[in-house]
Amino acid sequence: MRGISIEERAISLAHYIIDSKDTVRGAAAKFGVSKSTVHKDLSERILRINPVLATQVRAILDENKAERHIRGGMATKLKYDHLKEKKNVG
C-alpha cells in the first residue's frame, strides 16, 4: 500500500474489515502491513478521521475478539486431525 497516505490506508482498512469481516491478522496480510499498524489505524486513526466508520469497525473487531477462542480451538482440532490422518496413512 505504498504511495497512499496514512489516512487513506486507515479508511481502506476500515472498509475492508466492514465488507469482509476479516480479522486484524487477515487485514494485515492483505494490505502488507503489520498487525500493530492495522490495530492503530482501526482503533485510533479512523476515530479521528471518520467516527461513524470507526463505530462500524469497532463492532466487527469486538465480534472477532469474542470469537477468537473458538477459531483457536478449531485450528488446533484441524492440526491434530491432520497429524492423525498423516500417521494412519504413513
Enter the pTM of the model: 0.74
Comparing 24 with 88, the larger pLDDT belongs to 24
- Predicted confidence at residue 37, as pLDDT, reads 97
48-88 pLDDT tens trace:
999 999 999 999 999 988 876 777 777 788 888 887 777 78
Q: How far is CA 75 from CA 4, 34, 67, in A?
A: 35, 22, 13
- Predicted confidence at residue 1, as pLDDT, reads 55
C-alpha grid cell, residue 35: 498487525
Which of 14, 19, 22, 33 is closest to 64 using CA atoms? 22
Q: How far is CA 78 from CA 2, 12, 24, 52, 74, in A?
A: 36, 32, 22, 38, 6
Q: How confident is the model at residue 43 (pLDDT cuts 50, 70, 90)?
A: very high
Binning the chain into helix, strand and coil, the percentages to the nearest 5 are 85, 0, 15
